[in-house]
Amino acid sequence: MTKKYFIGIAVLGILIIGITFLKNYMPLHLSTNKTAMHKPAPLPKEATVILNKNGFSPATVTIKVGSAVRWKNESGSQQTVNSDNYPTNQLHKELNFGIFANNSSVAHTFTKAGTYGYHNQLNHKQAGKVIVIQ
């Protein structure tokens, strides 16, 4: 066997070891392995927004068309959910739920994509929005 043959085998061995190392130890953000990459969580069929003494939490929710938002009153007193613009509440009349009791909830299923602003009519600085995507 010749010296070139041994050098060729050594180079091939180094390449195999290098490829194996990269495949097993390459950071995920550089990996081409699609199953190991992060997939975003699916959007909920129903999102819940809590209305407490401090306002709406979360203030913004994103859902898909056909999904619902449930507003739960945990403020300790009666509150409202009403469409923007304050005080006329005319932008999205379907969100004009009016007053609802503590420990109760109201819900709406969104059938069209868009951004829907709302507020608490009793404290209009408490506001939120629903972003509906396709």
Supply the CATH number for residue 109's domain: 2.60.40.420
Q: Is the pLDDT of residue 80 over 70?
A: yes
> 60 and 114, same structural domain?
yes
Residues 19 and 54 in one domain: no
Total number of domains constituting the chain: 2
Q: What is the pLDDT of residues 85-101, one digit of tens each?
A: 999 999 999 999 989 99
**109 inside domain:** yes
Question: What percent of the chain is modeled with pLDDT above 90?
Answer: 66
- Kindly state the helix (H) or strand (E) to which residue 14 belongs, with its residue range: helix 3-25
Give the domain range for residue 104.
46-133
Q: Quick one: 83 and 103 in the same domain?
A: yes
pTM comes to 0.68
Confirm whether 41 is domain-assigned: no
- Cβ atoms of 126 and 119 within 8 Å: the answer is yes
- pLDDT tens string 108-121: 999 999 999 999 99
Residue type, 127: A
Q: Note whether 32 and 87 are same-domain residues.
A: no
- Sheet with 98-100: list strands edge to edge: 60-64, 123-133, 114-120, 79-83, 98-100
Tell me the mean pLDDT in the region 55-75. 97
